[in-house]
Amino acid sequence: MTVTVATLGFPRIGPRRELKFALEKFWAGTMTRMELEKTAADLRRANWARQDELGADWLPSNDFSLYDHVLDTSVMLGAIPARYGGERMDPADLETYFAMARGAAGTGDCCGNAPANVTAGEMTKWFDTNYHFIVPEIESGCTLRLGHFKPLEEYREARAQGFETRPVLLGPITWLSLAKGRGVDPFDLLDDVLGHYATLLRLFAQAGAAWVQIDEPILATDLSERQRRAFTRAYAKLAGAGPKLMLTTYFGGLGDNLGLTASLPVAGLHIDLVRAPDQLGAVVESVPEDRLLSLGVVDGRNVWRTDIASLIDRLAPLAAERDLVLAPSCSLLHVPVDLALETRLDEEVRQWLAFAVQKIEELDLLKRVLNHGREVVPEELEVAEKALASRHLSARIHDPAVGVRVAGLTPAMRERGASYVERARVQADVLALPAFPTTTIGSFPQTREVRKARAEYKRGAMDEAAYGAFLRAETERAIRWQEEVGLDLLVHGEFERNDMVQYFGEKLAGFAFTVSGWVQSYGSRCVRPPILYGDVSRSAPMTVDWWRYAQDLTDKPVKGMLTGPVTILNWSFVRDDQPRDETCRQIALAIRDEVLDLEGAGCKAIQIDEAALREGLPLRRRDWQSYLDWAVDCFRLAAAGVGNGTQIHTHMCYSEFNDILPSIGKMDADVISIETARSQMELLEAFAQYRYPGAIGPGVYDIHSARVPDEDEMVALMRLAQTHLRPEQLWVNPDCGLKTRAWKEVKPAIASMVGAARKLRSKAQVGA
């Protein structure tokens, strides 16, 4: 029996974010399409070579994407909405592709070379990760066609370089499940979609591919009867169409979908044994013996070293009986590329970690032991075991004071002093804001100058005094401009922050941070999640000085700006040696201290961003409530210490939370700002139905697009909002922070937004 190693996908941004820089140059017009494609091809070549060298036997192709693999699939199938030119468009056209991803501010009509002035496709979270995909849009009457053969091209490209790969396709049922139908149920197009997949698979067989990896992570979620029937129909059709299929599931166990999955006539099945270690026995029993099993035993979602010794004990009996493929639990897209690039990591913490490259090394080690016995790699095994033991025994992960504080928590600490209605009355007097108050979500453009100054400061080329003076000047400029443009509740601009989570991670005890640990968030945007390895505490105020500095510059109120405990947890690589809720309570206490210090300094409105609360929702509904209960409790613990006159704001971006509104209500925030611009205020209907009591700022400006919306567009969106909510509930704001935008976009957009609010106010008065 033989054990082999597969990777299901490798980070596509490159070890030094080469793709990010190339894309941004291309968009800025300083790089040609050929140069961009060369960078992309170089990255693919390097990734194949690297994985091959590291010992992977099954290399993926088509795991690369210029922006997003879900968008690639939509374009491949010709699901191009009419606003980008629809069926008239060539799916291989890069202008159209990027217009769908980012919107376009062009003047063309989409049929010529210049793109039209169009909004981007809706963007949302990929399952429970911090990766965002472009939601497939299927319009009524649209005819799908196989128009772009990128998967085939990349397979051939690898082959020409001597790499035999297993191409990766996003499975048809997951694609359809993630799609939004406009006047049509996406599943009505099932047979068309299957026809195109079958054609593609035949082409793969002709090109020489023996296997195709077909990703169906939707199998780790609750499925409707329609989805289940679609699976049966789909794989009956696709299994015989060409190459063998490795049906790949991840982000959780198969649970009640196991019977269905086992019945599908595919040649191989990949399962996630990190999120669902206990499913192995049931899978082995249910799945026919001739099926090749691929076991996701190394965590593709976290950065800790694998417990190799336990895995050997667990897998050896099975490996003696049947061929096995060992793999990361999911694509390595969600972890940084290479630990070797970390020049500043503390040595003790470093030995506890494995990034994408090291994870393939771990798999290779496991493979060698299972194929040839422990004797062939004794030193490597000893190093792995020592490193693991060092983490478990380290004094650095425990802080008794934190344990005492968490043990002393009381329910009263999670309660505000009065109901929302009473608080709103007091806050109206304290803040004295107009109707339809305007504000922004916190960050202003992180311009090249801001990033450059920080990079120089970090390198030691700028001293602390000069860097501080630079940041103060930026902040002052932002305050002056906000006064001029007429915003009501101001922000300091977050210029001092590299990232809203990383910034706090760097200030709190219990976190380590990387220099090159980038992970793609969307398109060219990356994040460097902090590594939460030990008990969390705050030793000194983290944001008060910046707030005070900004507030001293103006008579208008300035919001205090914090990242909430659940978001810090969900956007960090979190320790796996204690339950997440326990870790979250530690963070909540640290944020609570900060909230109280801000209030003590005189801050009247404090925003605690919980942008990631929704994405942390377990994929299975039966697990939701317990997550929501502790997540909401942690938010309340962070927020509820303040007096009734202090207005607590929260913000959530890219959230689909119709189905969790009772929990959003229980957070008991005074004001919540949410994404809605790309989805035409769809979400507000649910808020209205639920009779959400508090104030809401539905985003009227899609900040992820370079396109500048005009005043009338924003007035129209707010009018839509008013069909769902009472005017006194409504705030006017963008749908997220403005850090990714340029001032030349922000200034006119916010001026229009303030103009829109004024129009609404005057109309409201006329109406009265």
Query: Using the rule CB under 6 A, which residue among 47, 358, 498, 586 binds ligand LYWDKB7T?
Result: 498
Whole-number Å distance between alpha carbons of 212 and 219: 18
CB hemisphere CA count around 716 (13 angstroms): 7
CB of residue 587 to ligand LYWDKB7T, shortest distance in Å: 14
Name the nearest CA neighbour of 133 among 143, 144, 122, 142: 122
Q: Which is nearer to ligand HCS, 474 or 609 (CB)?
A: 609
Catalytic site residue 704? yes
Query: Using the rule CB under 6 A, which residue among 255, 510, 534, 737 binds ligand HCS?
Result: 737
**3-state secondary structure at position 131:** coil
125 in a known ligand binding site: yes
| Using rule CB under 6 A, residue 441 touches ligand HCS | yes
Q: Write the CA distances from 517 to 100, 110, 349, 537, integer angstroms.
A: 28, 38, 14, 23
From the list ligand LYWDKB7T, Zn ion, ligand HCS, none, pick the one residue 442 interacts with, judged by a Cβ distance below 5 to 8 Å according to partner type: ligand HCS
Given the residues 69, 148, 270, 704, select the one marked as catalytic: 704
Chain residues 601-630 in contact with Zn ion, contact rule CB under 5 A: 611
Phi first, then psi, for residue 582 (nearest 5°) are: -65, -45
| Using rule CB under 5 A, residue 672 touches Zn ion | no
Contacts of 587 by beta carbon, 8 Å cutoff, 6+ apart: 508, 536, 565, 568, 569, 634
CB of residue 125 to ligand HCS, shortest distance in Å: 12
Name the nearest CA neighbour of 635 among 566, 541, 717: 566
- Check if the beta carbon of residue 711 is closer than 8 Å to that of residue 748: no
CB of residue 605 to ligand HCS, shortest distance in Å: 13
Q: Write the CA distances from 570 to 575, 587, 733, integer angstroms.
A: 11, 12, 25
**3-state secondary structure at position 644:** coil
- What is the x/- site pattern for ligand HCS, positions 650-669, by CB under 6 A? -x-x----------------
> Which single residue brings its beta carbon nearest to ligand HCS?
737
- Check if the beta carbon of residue 720 is closer than 8 Å to that of residue 419: no
604 in a known ligand binding site: no
How many other CB atoms are found less than 10 A from the CB of residue 392?
Answer: 10
Alpha helices in 486-564 (DSSP H): 502-507, 544-552
> Which single residue brings its beta carbon nearest to ligand LYWDKB7T?
498
Name the nearest CA neighbour of 675 among 716, 736, 632: 736
Which phi-psi region, left, alpha or beta, contains residue 198 (left: φ > 0; alpha: ψ -120 to 50)? alpha
Q: Which amino acid is at 652?
A: M
Tokens of 661: 């509104």
CB hemisphere CA count around 330 (13 angstroms): 24
Helices (H) and strands (E) in the chain, counts: 27, 24
Select from 130-138, 280-288, 717-725, 733-741 the region that touches ligand HCS (CB under 6 A). 733-741
Contacts of 96 by beta carbon, 8 Å cutoff, 6+ apart: 75, 80, 84, 85, 89, 90, 110, 115
Q: Which is nearer to ligand HCS, 26 or 731 (CB)?
A: 731
Q: Which is nearer to ligand LYWDKB7T, 308 or 500 (CB)?
A: 500
| Using rule CB under 6 A, residue 454 touches ligand LYWDKB7T | yes
Number of residues forming the site for ligand LYWDKB7T (CB under 6 A): 24
Select from 56-64, 634-642, 673-681, 731-739 the region that touches ligand HCS (CB under 6 A). 731-739
Query: Using the rule CB under 6 A, which residue among 287, 500, 536, 660 binds ligand HCS?
Result: 500
| Using rule CB under 6 A, residue 678 touches ligand HCS | no
Chain residues 584-613 in contact with ligand HCS, contact rule CB under 6 A: 609, 611
Tokens 């109707």 locate to: 435
Residues that bind ligand LYWDKB7T (CB under 6 A): 20, 130, 446, 448, 451-452, 454-455, 498-502, 521, 525-528, 571, 611, 653, 736, 739-740
Q: Residue positions in the annotated binding site for Zn(2+)?
A: 651, 653, 675, 736
Residues that bind ligand HCS (CB under 6 A): 441-443, 500, 561, 609, 611, 651, 653, 736-737, 739
Q: Residue positions in the annotated binding site?
A: 17-20, 125, 130, 441-443, 494, 525-526, 571, 609, 615, 651, 653, 675, 736
Q: Catalytic residue positions?
A: 704
